[in-house]
Structure 1
Amino acid sequence: MRTSIILGLLGATVLLAGAAQAADAPGEHPSVKRPTSMPPSADLSYSLKIKQSGLSLNGQASVQWRAGEGKYSIVTESRAAIFGKVVENRSEGAIDDFGLAPATFYEKRFRKEPYTTSFKRDAKTITFTESDVSYPIKGGEQDRSSAQWQLAAQARATPDKFKPGSEWQYFVAGRRDAEPWTFKVVKTEAVQIGTGEVQAIHLVKAPPPDKEGQQVDLWLAPSMDWYPVRVRFNDSDGDFVDQTLEKVVKK
């Protein structure tokens, strides 16, 4: 097994993952104002299970979520057996009428140079250190770390709208470019976490029919302020990364 493949999978663990592809049609850049209610600031600890080419690997991930006084920040780290810390990323910005409004998204992966995606609010432009492309800011844009917390904030504000079959679309910036993501609510399911069983809303982000990519499954727990209690990344060949909540400490 190649180390680079495992590290690539681990790089997805606390992100809503995959390299974003550029959106061709301007109409695919959604800008919708929806009510939000930010989950309380907290430190969250997750266990990781990874399968790659028949080999299993365990690890841990941590998320520091902070929201208040019109600002937010998300600091994440992933650690794996043998490798130690393999991913560190930060998303920070403001809270506006659209919800989370990222200013910067920074990521550093094991043995790779860091990169930064910038949301330049004054110029109303998203730019990347890894490419020369740019996108207009229309409102509501997210990065790959903030997207799940934007979902949680919207669900916390309007839980009755998160019914099976409902869809939630965002314009999400990645490492080099951006694209629309659509999350669909599947159903309520029991999820076993570190402190016991909880009921959680299961959402799925599937790759577009005409593109390859990971499917992302996300579970948000209403009884726990809609914190993400499980995230699973599935590749078409059966490889996966499964991230499950072990502990929450509110701040």
Structure 2
Amino acid sequence: MAAGRLSRRTSAALAGLALAVLTLHGLVLDEMAAQRAAWQEVRPMPPRLAAAFVRTLKPSAPPPPRPAGTVDTPAHARPQGPGPDAAQGAAPSASAPEPAASAVAAAPPAPAASVAPVTPTAATEPAAAASQPRVAAASAASAASAPGDFQPGPEWPASTRLDYKLRGNYRGAVTGRARVEWLREGHRYQVHLEVAVGPGFAPLIARTMSSEGVLTPQGIQPERFDEDTRVLLAARRRLTLQFLGQELVFPNGRREGAPAGVQDAASQFVQLTWLFLTGRETLAAGREVRLPLALPRKLYAWRYVIEGEETLDTPMGPLAAWHLRPLVENTGSDLRAEVWLAPSLQYLPVRLMIRQDEQTWIDLMLQSAPLQAAP
């Protein structure tokens, strides 16, 4: 009798142990699946292009505005040697029509900005040397994706780094820092916008928005956009938006046709710089600039209205900058960005205001003079 009761107790204990083992096994599998999903969500970023920032960009007078509709012939398509009017001392006409085959919408050189050399540091030289294989790979990819014989010229700013002071509101007043890097290597480009809210040793939020693609006679042509977000005590998240020719592929897998000239959240600022630097768009209060914009959740028919010229107080002294504000409404959780472009600094953004809603925003103001690579 006692033996029977012991046997039943033993069986119950073994059954309980088996149930506990199965439950624990299930929890472990669930945790492994969650970790695997999180790992799959963080896709590897493309290698970053290399740049040695060796000179300080100083304000200089911008070039005079060009007549509306002016289109320049690219350097590689211009006739070499003196023109037929040289013997008579007359300059060739800048408005003479070009053959259709060579009427590529290239741009004039950038303004001759005043620059001061920066002494290379020991930290930058090994980094540049270590990145040579990546530069070679990027150059090969550049040659493969270059549109015909188009050669990007000085109408594109050299690789540039801009550092900003950050203030804003996220469940209360916040401070931080931000950096924008525009990187060029042949036909390839990358734009990286890095924002950190909170103390440097443990930011509350850190977000990087990266765009990469090619330069064309029509401007920037993105191929991929990544948005990497890290929040203190939360899982890291990355969203990838792909530009596959005539098609956009959103992070959720949805596909949609890509309109001509479409930009992403990071490339839009450099595209605006290029449009104004080359005279393709005119800065005048009240004008609108139409810019198709693909954000991680939706494609927008974005419009920037030019509010007017303002004087900003910067570490380089007062700077005149043009304020552009987006007119698109109902962006949901997508971000909206206002921008201030300074003609005396190659139309680079000296201030950015990025909003998610009325209670969540950051204001970035240039902290120091921009640094550029050698041309």
TM-score, structure 2 as length reference = 0.53
| Alpha-carbon shift at residue 238 of structure 1 (Å) | 5.3
The Cα shift of 1:216 comes to: 3.4
What aligned pairs does 1:58-207 form with structure 2 within 5 A after superposition? 58-82=175-199, 83-84=202-203, 86-110=206-230, 111-121=235-245, 124-128=246-250, 130-158=251-279, 161-207=282-328
Contact map agreement 2:191 2:212 (CA 8 A) in 1: yes
Deviates more, 1:64-73 or 1:101-110: 64-73
Q: Determine the C-alpha separation between the residues in 2 that align with 1:132 and 1:96.
A: 27
3-state SS, counterpart of residue 161 of structure 1: coil
Give the whole-Å Cα distance in 2 for the aligned partners of 1:138 and 1:57. Answer: 37
* CA contact 1:234–1:240 (8 Å) conserved in 2: yes
Residue 223 of structure 1 is matched in structure 2 by 344
Deviation string 1:1-57 (CA, Å, 9 cap, x unpaired) is: xxxxxxxxxxxxxxxxxxxxxxxxxxxxxxxx976632232111011001234x211
Change in 2 beyond 3 A, CA 1:175/1:60: same
Question: Do 1:34 and 1:154's aligned partners in 2 also have CA atoms closer than 8 Å?
Answer: no
The question of 1:232 aligning with 2:232 is answered: no
Query: Which structure has more strand as a fraction of its residues?
Result: 1
Rate the CA distance shift 1:235–1:120 in 2: closer, same or farther, 3 A: closer
**Residues 1:140 and 1:244: Cα distance change in structure 2 (over 3 Å):** same
Structure 2: which 5+ runs fail to align?
A: 1-103, 108-154
Report what 2:170 is aligned to.
Answer: 52
- Residue 109 of structure 1: how far off its partner (Å): 0.1
> SS of the counterpart of 2:271?
helix
Partners of 1:245 and 1:40 in 2: CA distance: 18
**Paired letter, 2:190:** S
Alpha-carbon distance in structure 2 between the residues aligned to 1:69 and 1:228: 23
* Higher RCO (C-alpha 8 Å, min separation 6): 1
Following superposition, the deviation at residue 86 of structure 1 comes to 0.8
SS at match of 1:155: helix
Percent identity between the two aligned chains: 22
Quote the Cα distance in structure 1 between the aligned partners of 2:249 and 2:356: 28
Aligned residues: 214
Cα distance in 1, alignment partners of residues 337 and 193 from structure 2 = 18
Report how far residue 146 of structure 1 moved.
0.6
* Alpha-carbon distance change, 86 to 72 in structure 1, aligned in 2, over 3 angstroms: same
Structure 1: 5+ residue stretches without partners: 1-32
- Distance in 1, Cα, partners of 2:239 & 2:356: 24
State the alpha-carbon separation in 2 of the partners of residues 89 and 239 from structure 1: 18
TM-score (normalizing by structure 1): 0.77
Inter-CA distance 34–201: structure 2 relative to 1 (3 Å threshold): farther
Change (3 A) 1:226 1:216: same
Distance 1:131 1:40, change over 3 A: same
1:79-134, Cα deviation, whole Å (9 max, x unpaired): 2224426112211100113200001101110133212111112xx21102x22322
For 1:211 and 1:81, locate their aligned partners in 2 and report how far apart those are by CA, in whole Å.
26
- One-letter code of the match for 2:197? A
Counterparts in 2 of 1:227 and 1:165: CA distance versus 1, 3 Å: same
1:239 CA displacement: 4.7
C-alpha deviation, 1:169, in angstroms: 1.1
Contact 2:281 2:289 in 1 (8 A): no
Q: Which has the higher helix share?
A: 2
2:238 partner amino acid: P
